[in-house]
Structure 1
Amino acid sequence: MSVRAGHGWQTSLADLSLILFIVTAATVSRQPQVPALPSRAAAAPSPQTEPLSVYVAAPDAPPLADWLREQAADPRQQLTITAHYGSDAGAQARALAQATRLLAQAGAQGQAARMVVEPGEGPVRAVLAYDAPRVGESGE
C-alpha cells in the first residue's frame, strides 16, 4: 500500500471546508423570516436632511410669504414648520395656532408643508430642505 504524503493536508482542508459549509447552511436556514418593509412613502415621512434655508418667526421677521418668494423653487424641497410648546396651560394650542398660521401663508404661496408641534422651547421655525419623498420610493 502506498501513501502519498502530498495530498493529506489538502483532503483535510477540503473536509473542513465542507463541514463549515454545512454548518453555515444549517444555521442560515433556521433564521426567522423578516417581513418585508412597507413602502417608505406610505409608512413614514422622509428623513430630515440638512436645512437649506431657515425662517424664524420672530416679532421683527418679514412674512413667511416674502421669505418663500426669495427661495429658489425646487420640487425636491420640503417645507417643514416646527412649533414648540411649554408645560403651561394652553401652550400646545398656541403653538399649533402659530404653526397653522404659517402653514396658511405657505399654502397661499403654493407651497405644501408638513407641520410638527412638539414639546420644547423656542420660536416657530420654517425650514426648507431636500426632504420631499420621492414618488415610488420604497424601503425594501
Structure 2
Amino acid sequence: MIARPGQTGWQTILADLALILFMICASALSVAEGPAPAAVKAQAAPLRAPPPPPPHPVAPSQQAEPVGVWRDGPGAPPLAQWLADQAADPRLRLSIVVRYGARSANPHSAREAALEQAARLARTAGPRAGSARVVVEPGAQPGASVALGYDEESL
C-alpha cells in the first residue's frame, strides 16, 4: 500500500475512536460515586488460604506394553493355569481390566457384576494379585482381560 500525504486509513480512524472511548470511560469512572470496582471485588470474595498440596504427586500410572494378555472367553484357559505358564519375574505387574456395558438397562447392576468379576479374577490370580492394578470401567464391549507387563510401581 502506498501512503499519500493527507490521507488516513480506516485503521487510524478506528484507533482514534477507541482512544476517545477509553478516555470517556476513564473520566466517568474517576467521578463515579461509590466504591471502586476493585474494592467491590475484595468485599465480595474474602481471601482464602490455598488448598494444601496433595501428600504425593498425582500422575498417571506408568503402563508398559504387555508381555502377555489373557481374555475371558470361550476357548481361553483358566486364569490360574495361564498365570502358571507365564514367567515368574517379580517385576511383572498384573493388570486386571473388567468392562461393563454402560448403556445396559441397569448400569448399576452391570457395574456391581463387573466389580464381582474383578474380585473373583484377583482371587484366582493368587499371590500375583498382591500388587495388581484393577480397573473396572464402562465400555462398548463388556468383558475381562488380564495383562502382564513391566509397569513402573506407583508410590
Q: In which range does the TM-score fall when normalised by the shorter chain?
A: 0.5 to 0.7
| Separation in 2, partners of 1:130, 1:45 | 16
- Label 1:76 to 1:38 Cα distance change in 2 as closer, same or farther (>3 A): farther
The aligned residue for residue 103 of structure 1 is 122
> How far has the Cα of 1:46 moved from its partner?
3.3
- Label 1:39 to 1:117 Cα distance change in 2 as closer, same or farther (>3 A): same
Structure 1 residues not aligned, in runs of 5+: 1-35
| Separation in 1, partners of 2:92, 2:134 | 15
Superposed, 1:9-48 pairs within 5 Å as 43=58, 46-48=61-63
Paired residue total: 97
- Letter aligned with residue 70 of structure 1: D
| Separation in 2, partners of 1:75, 1:97 | 26
> How far has the Cα of 1:75 moved from its partner?
1.3
For residues 25-70 of structure 1, the C-alpha deviation after alignment (integer angstroms, 9 at most, x for no partner) is xxxxxxxxxxx99656xx4563111010000011332210000000
Specify which structure has the bigger relative contact order, considering alpha-carbon pairs within 8 angstroms and separated by 6 or more residues: 1
TM norm structure 1: 0.60
Structure 2 residues not aligned, in runs of 5+: 1-52
The answer to whether the Cα contact below 8 Å between 1:77 and 1:132 also exists between their aligned partners in 2 is: no
The answer to whether the Cα contact below 8 Å between 2:100 and 2:143 also exists between their aligned partners in 1 is: no
| Separation in 2, partners of 1:76, 1:84 | 26
The answer to whether the Cα contact below 8 Å between 1:85 and 1:92 also exists between their aligned partners in 2 is: yes
The answer to whether the Cα contact below 8 Å between 1:45 and 1:133 also exists between their aligned partners in 2 is: no
The aligned residue for residue 130 of structure 1 is 150
| Separation in 2, partners of 1:75, 1:99 | 22
TM norm structure 2: 0.55
> How far has the Cα of 1:122 moved from its partner?
3.5
The answer to whether the Cα contact below 8 Å between 2:64 and 2:149 also exists between their aligned partners in 1 is: yes
> How far has the Cα of 1:117 moved from its partner?
0.2
The answer to whether the Cα contact below 8 Å between 1:84 and 1:95 also exists between their aligned partners in 2 is: yes
The aligned residue for residue 65 of structure 1 is 80
How many percent of aligned residue pairs carry the same amino acid? 48
Superposed, 1:86-101 pairs within 5 Å as 86=101, 87-88=103-104, 89=106, 90-101=109-120
| Separation in 2, partners of 1:102, 1:124 | 9
The aligned residue for residue 138 of structure 2 is 119
Runs of 4+ in 1 over 2 A off after TM superposition: 36-40, 43-46
